[in-house]
Amino acid sequence: MPVYTSEALILRTYKLGEADRIVVFLTRDRGKKRGVAKGARRAKSRFTGALEPMTRAGVAYYEREQRELVRINYVEPTRSPLAAGTGEALGHVGYFAELIDEWAPEAHVDERLYRLGASITEAVAASVPVQELALYFEYWILRLQGVYPALSACPACGGGLNDGATMPAGEHAFLCLSCARPGSGTSLSREALAFLRAARLAAPERLASLTLSARAARELETAHRRLLALHLDKELKSARVLREMRR
């Protein structure tokens, strides 16, 4: 039975029997895995504190052919989002993990997705403003999947989107203000577009230096909610929890 070691991000856990847990984790070099952590629910388990969502860790596991679940030998945390210490930031951790889990195919290597998740963990632990971080993460995960609409030019006329853009109802593209029907769809202001363009080049830890008003943030939240619902065909449980927290 081969033993593998890898850098990994913990995504989710589920109860198994009286003392164990099933752990969903994204490895850097072998994609997403599901494994059994024996005794993880016991009070003196060696896994205590190591299985929180978005924890970055070294993982060792045994894998047999044609077995869906691997057997986890150890999880050694190297970075935890719990270091952030703020309720708002920690409330987003499950959301980030659930989005990665939804988009990471089983056993399919996607190092870009792993690097994105790892950078988000570092940013949460470093107390980067979570609102900007969430918008950055949503933009990048949609972009990595190839489904974020183009920001360079209007697909209808080829003109620029410098003054703002609108995503018409039922469509998956940002149109310029001349081509979009006034008052319809989801609008992005010049400021919201500027944030997205800066996010293409900025590392997460630099987000605190970007300007984003409450109005522009709401515009981006609305647009991203539409895009995520369109491509996932559902609303995530963690997203509903975040909405309740804000209320």
pLDDT, one tens digit per residue, over 35-66 is 999 999 998 899 998 999 999 999 999 998 77
| pLDDT of 7 higher than 90 | yes
Q: What pLDDT, on the 0 to 100 scale, is given for residue 82?
A: 83
* Confidence band, pLDDT 50/70/90 cuts, at residue 247: low
Among 160, 163, 209, 225, CA closest to 188: 163
pLDDT in tens, 143-202: 999 999 999 899 999 999 989 999 998 888 999 999 988 777 899 999 999 999 999 998
pLDDT in tens, 87-144: 777 889 999 999 999 999 888 899 999 999 999 999 999 889 999 999 999 999 999 9
* Confidence band, pLDDT 50/70/90 cuts, at residue 234: confident
* Confidence band, pLDDT 50/70/90 cuts, at residue 245: low
CA separation (Å) from 95 to 39, 51, 211, 245?
Answer: 26, 15, 24, 13
CA separation (Å) from 54 to 122, 218, 243?
Answer: 10, 25, 20
Helix (H) / strand (E) element for 98: namely helix 87-103
Q: What pLDDT, on the 0 to 100 scale, is given for residue 41?
A: 94
Residue range 204-216: mean pLDDT, rounded: 90
Residue 221: both structure tokens together: 């939240």
10 Å Cβ neighbour count for 129?
Answer: 15
Q: What pLDDT, on the 0 to 100 scale, is given for residue 244?
A: 65
Cα gap 180→174, rounded to integer Å: 9
Give the residues across from 15 on adjacent strands. 21
Residue range 67-95: mean pLDDT, rounded: 86
Q: What pLDDT, on the 0 to 100 scale, is given for residue 85?
A: 62
Helix/strand/coil for 14: strand
Residue 58: both structure tokens together: 């070294």
Residue range 8-13: mean pLDDT, rounded: 97
> Which stretch of 10-14, 224-228, 231-235 has the lowest confidence by average pLDDT?
231-235
Tokens 């895009």 correspond to what residue? 227
Q: What pLDDT, on the 0 to 100 scale, is given for residue 107?
A: 80
The residue length of the chain stands at 247
Residue range 66-91: mean pLDDT, rounded: 85
161 within 8 A of 155, measured Cβ to Cβ: no
| pLDDT of 243 higher than 80 | no
* Confidence band, pLDDT 50/70/90 cuts, at residue 246: low
